A = this chain, B = another copy of it.
Amino acid sequence: MNAPATPAASPVCPHHCDACGLRRTSAFTAVTAEELSFINSIRSGSHSVQAGGILIAEHRPNGRLYTLYAGWAFRYKTLSDGRRQILNFLLPGDLIGLQQEFGDTAMHGVDALTDCNFCVFPTDSLWTLFHAHPRLGYDMTWLAAREEGMVDDNLITTGRRNALERVAMLLMHLHRRLVRLGMVESDGSVLFPINQQHIADALGLSLVHTNKTMRRLSQLGLHEITAGRLKITNPRALGRIAEYYETVQRPVPLL
């Protein structure tokens, strides 16, 4: 009973993309057999990182491209005195490393929150991809734009929402993403492997204030977090506080 609610049946990406557990999900756009075999051909392997480990070190440019196959990770930047800002959380299917590839601006770290498995694509594969399969190239741009959209959302959250609204927003947002991936139990609860420090760092709050705010929210009966699982008890109220709007859940490209 209580089967692990992961989109990917196995925690490690299979040898051939034909057997990709993620793609079976309805969350991702369909690809042709030819596209799939092309993707398989440029994939250079898979890579695992333990919970707490780092996939990409901050400030250290990294030429590879990854797709998160299983697990949770996050992207972040830090200031010299240790202040950390989490830019966004990464869930299965997310593409990682486009920024690095292009170097110019942001340089960020990526750490694993749980044991993670990544599909690895070598540096120059992107280039090949654009030439061989324009449609997939289009998808890459889509993914980049989509991730920017998430950061945009985060920015208005940290910039203009108060603590209560921020936490509400984060909970709603993560919950919705997990549901989209089917990573939800029948009771509506989802795995929630992040601690209050992560939440604080994602929302631009202090640890203490994050704690007090979450306490408030849970005592109002809006959510509960137990044993590493999050359950949103009153989505309407939480959504109202966060000013969170459901958006249509279109399938998303997967590399």
Contacts and interface: CB of A to CB of B under 8 A. Distances in A.
Interface of A: 77, 79-80, 83-85, 87, 98-99, 101-106, 108, 126-127, 130-131, 134-135, 137-138, 140-142, 144-156, 158-161, 203-204, 243, 247-248, 250, 252
Say how many copies of this protein the assembly contains.
2
A134 B129 CA distance: 9
Interface residues of chain A: helix, strand, loop or mixed (majority): helix
A102 B147 CA distance: 11
Contacts of A138: 126-127, 130, 137
B84 A160 contact: yes
A145 to B, nearest CB: 4
A149 B99 contact: yes
Contacts of A155: 85, 87, 151, 154-155, 158
Contacts of A158: 155, 158-159, 204
Max chain B Cβ within 10 angstroms of own Cβ: one of A84, A138, A159:
A159
